[in-house]
Amino acid sequence: MTAEGPALISRRGVLAGVAGAMVTTGCGSAGTPGRRGPGTTGADQLKRALPAYMPSKSVTPDIPSVAGAGGAASDPAFLSYPADPVQTVTGVPGSGGTYVTRTPLWGAIPPSNGNSYYDAVNAALGATLRMRPADGNTYVDALPALFASGRLPDWTQIPSWVNQRLNLGTAVERFADLTPYLSGDKIATYPNLANIPTSAWQAAVWNGRLYGIPSYSTTSNFPGYLFYRKDLFEKAGVSAEVRSAEDLFALGEALTDAKAGRWAFDDLWPYLLSPIDVLASPPGVRHPCQEPDVLRLGVERPDGTFDVLAELDGRYLSTEVAGGFTGRVIGMYAATGTVGFDWFDYEPLEHG
């Protein structure tokens, strides 16, 4: 890490790391070049580098995790919220210091000064994280220039979907090698990290060494809420309570007036992904929502896509779109301070 290098990779140093990030060393090299592989990772190297999976025993799930092939594992399931939640980390983990992070963001970059959210996170950590978000749409193109500059932040988030387009090359040498601390049963020192299935760590391995910490794994969903324009719902005389796909389609038809340029939803798919995750179909089997009649329903704004969040202020804060917010989108409004929250109401996502 910056200033003190690998010496900071201690119990506190690892636990203070940003999830899904690679940790930068201060000296520009993660260790002895002779330990490195030829640029790819073989099966034996991968096995030696990956942490073991040790499911947490702090709370007993109703349906335990089931281990699968290749280090994969299902999520433990709870039929009700635990009556006595267990606090797995006590006290303040950090001991001062300032660390810079780089992450992708699809939306307006929030200010770092006077941000109450950042202030609360830093107070809880006992250290100062200076968040430096970058444009998510160009993030994969900006990373090579960042690596070439030699001025890396302390933590860099590298989404797994960029791996096929990103050649880290020798830049990986500038990140801290976590293998001596987390591989195999060594992960037991950090029970919360040991609770991450082994397969989730594979995207963090380069040249046979472990350099990153995964942000989530298996069927994790993005938490949040579905926000909607309460005034438009009331004007149309429709309820925001949706219990089935049929309810959703009926609501969409009632709120949409294509001639007037008003749509019930923007790009609906990412918002439905939150509560129901990915629809898995056996070969040759189609879900009802994949049928042509449903695809032609016509309740989404035609040019609505998840990638055009730059137009949020002009579209969602007008009468063009009646619903389609999630917690992660409304959070961007909270960061920029441009939203009139009295316009909105919300329904919690029901994860099934």
Domain ranges of the chain: 5-210, 225-348
Average pLDDT over the chain reads: 68
Judged against a pLDDT cut of 50, whether residue 1 lies above it is answered with: no
Task: Give burial (CB, 10 Å; 0-12/13-18/19+) of 108.
Answer: middle
| pTM of the entire predicted model | 0.59
Q: Contact 179/209 with Cβ under 8 angstroms? A: yes
Q: Contact 29/36 with Cβ under 8 angstroms? A: no
Task: Provide the pLDDT confidence category of residue 187 given band limits of 50, 70 and 90.
Answer: very high
| Mean pLDDT across 43-65 | 89
| Mean pLDDT across 26-33 | 35
Task: Provide the pLDDT confidence category of residue 140 given band limits of 50, 70 and 90.
Answer: confident
CATH 1.10.3720.10 holds for 225-348: no
Q: State which H helix or E strand residue 100 sits in.
A: strand 98-105
For residue 106, the tally of other CB atoms under 10 A from its CB is 17
Amino acid at 27: C
